[in-house]
Amino acid sequence: MRVLITAGPTREYLDDVRYLSNGSSGRMGYAIAQAALHLGWEVVLVSGPVELSAPPGCEFHQVITTDQMKEACERLFPGCDGVIATAAVCDYKPAVRLTGKMKKGGGPITVEMIETDDVLAGLGSIKEHRWVLGFALEAQNPRENALQKLRRKNCNWIVLNRPEAIGSEENSVELISARGETEENWSGPKSRIAALLVEWLAVHAPNSNS
């Protein structure tokens, strides 16, 4: 099994100094990468900026912006059996990136924002025989929103988790199938959840024995 894993946040720059991002630590994605390596899988890890070292033995690709993550993933995905998309990708970016450092002007400013390209939906649209497992971090109507994301992005499964997972050593997740059925509920350290998820995929994912 050769699997693509996305991890960490992306950044979208207002100017050459300031950027928009989120508090993703990358721990979930890196733990999944480690668990997959432990099972003998080939791992291609595409990561935004985090304070973690890539697990030894993986093929590592460092990115910063959402566009960079999208380009790397769409280039690498055709050579993989599936993708586990844990990255917390920015949904919006400034319409214009300013050159240099924006100076204070003594009053409020308005920044026009536009949507970024959807990395997971892009992979779902080209998956063909490959499988796609996404992560959904939801606060309001969590299960309903996760199901909408699963269908809209053409995932085989989606892992629902909550904002409390950001930056935490632990997590509580629900694995949901394309039929909208709960396959598993797991709680505990992210390393334990990662191991359980990869072991589940080893049994249920297409091409898991390759």
Per residue in 119-175, pLDDT (tens digit) is: 999 999 999 999 999 999 888 888 999 999 999 999 999 999 988 888 778 889 999
Cβ neighbours for 52, distance < 8 A, ≥ 6 positions apart: 8, 25, 26, 27, 30
What is the CATH number that goes with domain 2-101+108-204? Answer: 3.40.50.10300
36-75, pLDDT tens digit by residue?
999 999 999 999 999 999 999 999 999 999 999 999 999 9
Domain boundaries, the chain: 2-101+108-204
Strand pairing of 92-94 and 59-62?
A: unpaired
Q: According to the model, what pLDDT value does residue 139 have? A: 81
Of the two residues 57 and 109, the one the predictor is more confident about is 57
> For residue 5, which of 58, 57, 52 has the smallest C-alpha distance?
58
**Is 209 part of the annotated catalytic residue set?**
no
3-state secondary structure of 75: helix
Q: According to the model, what pLDDT value does residue 162 have? A: 83
Residues 93-103, mean pLDDT to the nearest whole number: 94
pLDDT at 208 over 80: no
